[in-house]
Structure formats: structure tokens, C-alpha cells
Amino acid sequence: MQKELDRRSLLKLTGGSLAALGVTAAGCGAGSGSGDGTVTLRYAWWGSDDRAERINKTIALFEKKHPKIKIKTDFQPYLDFWKKFNTQAAGGNPPDVFQNAIGFLRKYDERNVLLDLREQVKAGHLRLDGFRAGLEKFGEVDGKLLGIPVGSNSMALVIDKPLFAKAGVTPEMGWTWDDFHTAMEKIRDKGRPGDSGLYGVMYLYDLYLRQHGKAFFTKNGLGFTEADLKEWWTKGRQGVRSGIYADPKKVAQVKPKSAVAAELAAAEFTWDNFTVRYTAEGKSSYGLAPIPTTDGKKTGQYLGSLMLSGSRRTRHPRQVAQFIDFMVHDPEVAEIMGYDRGVPATTAQYEAYRPSQESDKVIASVNKDIAAYEESLVDADVLETITPHPAGADVCEAAFLRVAEELALGKRSVDDAVEQYFNECKTALGSR
């Protein structure tokens, strides 16, 4: 799923130069062909050095199995990727196939950038069978298939297990926000704030809204009111003042290190596939706990995912579809990628890779916990369909993070922060 652009995702998504990785920057024009029938596709993505190395291995495997299709690659850190992609899309020159996220589907569909992959499915070049938990529908927008998921993740509460045990707190599926609040008080009374703070965790707020029959986004705009957001941010501020949430200024000072690993809080909400960083950064033992509920049942959760999308301007839609099909179905790809982009989206890849395969025991243990967590969501039958995102959602996401931080650091009052946020979203979303 796109993931929220916060300190956790930026740590994971930055780094690496093209030269250091031996990656060829994409040239101009759509995918090309040669006299011998060989087709060249341009493929672009964002991520860490490790992701680039893994993806390059999958490309080598693809080219070995499909000698008539060559892949020219373009790897960038997250922010640089979208800056470059915006320029390419505006100039009618986007890559043939590229990594994508839910917040960008409508935006680029409305700009006629994205290839509807439905025709390639009908032609037999792209399979939609074998996806886990309905993920094949993740990239659908208004009847069009604009992206194919490569992995899944979901929101979770990362906890410092010894601190929770010391406070006598055992989070279980179905615990409520009242239970969560009580747990944070118990942990605070043992000497540490319970959570790192809820101000800027947009996708957690989305789940809270969904628990109340609303959503952060609808396909037309925001799905909540100024009064709703005022209530959420007021509770966040009260939590800081009561000591159950960490001091925002201290949290800001330790960035990019997480507040949990820095021992400023006992827990924080994030995407489950980000959890490897806590063991790498901290000295304690960390685990995943379920999302609190309003009624003891509904968490509002869905499986998010990174996706692969095609360009509407590509000259080779069949080869684009074949490339995407390979990347989401071939078992050897899963063995190479692991959980770098989330838990594999298809059953074939999920079964092909097991965390125990990792030589790094820390990564193996964390990946095992991630898989178990997502299996628990399926078993509990709490997963729902993801909320549609309107064009301009990416701007609203960035604004939420920034305005929430200004609020947390005391630069804005709650009323001022709410007004500022809605004004920015009205501009980003236009008449929506």
C-alpha cells in the first residue's frame, strides 16, 4: 500500500545512487523494439539500496526466461522518484512500467497516464487468479485495472514487549480504545509514556474513522468533517499532557530514530512491514499488537500494497503485462524479494518464501511475526475494502503529516491546525 510518508517510511525508502548500483537511467520515449523482435521496456521504482539490489536480481531472472524482452531500469529515492515521474508524465514520457501506490491511481488516471490492464487480463497475458485476501481488486478504479499489487501490509501497533509485560498489558484482537487508553496509563505509571503519539498517523486516523462509518477519503474528497478532526487532535494533545503519549519535542529530536527504539515510548502505530527497523535500532524485544476497536469487532483495516502499473503510452502493453505477471506470480521472485515490499500478494509467492530462508536471524524473526500478524487479520475476518483515494490525495497526505507536527510542537492551536488542513485540502482536491 502507499505507505504514509513519515519518518519511518522515509528511513526505509531513501538512499542509493544509480551509479553505485550500476543502474541505467531511463531514456526518452516509450518502450522500444529492435529488428530481431527484441523489446525494451523502461521500469522505474523507488526504495532503498537493498530493494534495488533485489529488484535487479529479479530483472536478470526475467530476462533469462524472456530473452526477447529487455528491461532498462530507473531507481530513485521516494521524493526524487515522484518529482521525476511528474515531469515525465507531464511530458508524455512516463516509464512503461513503474512502482505505484493507492494515493496516486486517480490522480494519474485523470491525467490519462495509466494503462488499463483489464484488456491484457482478457487476452491472457496477465493473471488475476491466486491473489491473497482479494488483493487483485486493490488497483481497481471505476471499473479499470490500474495497478497490480506486489505485496501487502496493514497498520499495527509495534510494542516494546518487556514494558507491556511489566505493566501487565496483553493486547488481544478486539480490544477497545478504552482498553488501549487504560493500557497506556498502566505503562506510563511504570515510568515511560505508552505511545509515541497519534497526531500525524494519517492511516491510523483512517481506521478510526472507518470504525465510525466514515473514512479519511472517499472517491470525491475528504470523508470527515472539521469537527471530527478537532476531536481526534484534541485527544492527541490531551494524551501528551497526561503523559500517556511521548513528548513531541523529544520525539522530533531523535529523528530519524523511532521513539520506541529511543526508549521515549513503549509503542507506536505503523505499517507492519516497517517493523524490522525497531530491532535494528533498539535494545529491547519488539512485537506486533492489533489495532484497537470501537465496538470490540470492527478495526476498519484493509491490506495495503505497493503496486506495478503500466503507462498508457507504452508501445508494448502485452510485454508490460507479461513483466508484471512474472513479478507477482513467479515463485523465484518471492525468494529474492522476501518481504521488502510487504508480504507477497499471491499465494504462489507467499508459499515460496518463508522467513526462515533469511540468513539474517533478526530479519527472519521479524518477517515471521509480520506473516503471523497478517494471517491473524484474515482469520479474524476483519479485513475490508480499501477506501478510494481522490486525485490530490497525495498532497493531502503530506499536509496532514506537516500540519500535525506543527500542532504537536506547539506551533499551532487545534482550531488553527484544523482550519489550515482543510484549507490546504480544498485547494488540493479542487471542487471535490
pLDDT band at 276 (very low <50, low <70, confident <90, very high): confident
Same domain? For 147 and 254 the reply is no
Q: Which amino acid is at 122?
A: K
pLDDT tens string 364-396: 888 899 999 999 999 999 999 887 789 999 899
Residue 12, pLDDT above cutoff 90: no
pLDDT at 35: 63
Same domain? For 247 and 322 the reply is no
Intra-chain end-to-end CA distance of the chain, in Å: 23
Residue 1, pLDDT above cutoff 70: no
Could you give the 3-state DSSP secondary structure of residue 286?
A: strand
Query: Is 373 part of a structural domain of the chain?
Result: no
Q: Taking residues 321-350, what's their average pLDDT?
A: 95
pLDDT at 31: 64
pLDDT at 26: 35
Same domain? For 220 and 316 the reply is no
pLDDT tens string 239-262: 999 999 999 999 999 988 999 999
Out of 102-116, 165-179, 199-213, 271-285, least confident range: 271-285
**Of 296 and 4, which is predicted with more confidence?**
296
CA 323, chain centre distance (Å): 22
Q: Indicate the number of domains in the chain.
A: 2
CA–CA distance, 235 with 389 (Å, rounded to integer): 26
Compute CA distances 160 → 109, 168, 191, 279, whole Å. 42, 13, 13, 10
Q: Give the residue numbers spanning the domain of 126.
A: 7-151+305-353
pLDDT at 17: 33
**Of 11 and 415, which is predicted with more confidence?**
415
DSSP 3-state helix, strand, coil percentages of the chain (rounded to 5)?
45, 15, 40
Q: Taking residues 143-165, what's their average pLDDT?
A: 96
CATH of the domain at 127: 3.40.190.10
pLDDT at 431: 52
Residue 188, pLDDT above cutoff 60: yes
pLDDT band at 360 (very low <50, low <70, confident <90, very high): confident
Compute CA distances 291 → 156, 163, 299, whole Å. 6, 18, 6
pLDDT at 34: 62
DSSP, res 136: G
Nearest to 366 by CA among 348, 386, 383, 342: 342
pLDDT tens string 99-152: 999 989 999 999 999 999 999 999 999 999 999 988 999 999 999 999 999 999
pLDDT at 295: 95
pLDDT tens string 206-244: 999 999 999 999 988 999 999 999 999 999 999 999 999
pLDDT at 30: 56
Same domain? For 280 and 223 the reply is yes
pLDDT at 198: 85
CB 125 within 8 A of CB 97: no
Beta bridge partners of 222: 217
Same domain? For 288 and 315 the reply is no
Query: Is 321 part of a structural domain of the chain?
Result: yes
Report the percent of the chain where pLDDT is more than 70.
91
Query: Is 222 part of a structural domain of the chain?
Result: yes
Query: Is 377 part of a structural domain of the chain?
Result: no
Query: Is 346 part of a structural domain of the chain?
Result: yes
CA–CA distance, 155 with 209 (Å, rounded to integer): 14
Same domain? For 273 and 414 the reply is yes
pLDDT at 15: 37
Residue 48, pLDDT above cutoff 60: yes
Same domain? For 349 and 393 the reply is no
Query: Is 25 part of a structural domain of the chain?
Result: yes
Same domain? For 291 and 317 the reply is no
Same domain? For 235 and 178 the reply is yes
Same domain? For 393 and 288 the reply is yes
Does the predicted model carry a pTM greater than 0.75?
A: yes
Residue 3, pLDDT above cutoff 70: no
Map grid coordinates 515490499 to a residue.
Answer: 341
pLDDT band at 28 (very low <50, low <70, confident <90, very high): very low
**Of 305 and 332, which is predicted with more confidence?**
332
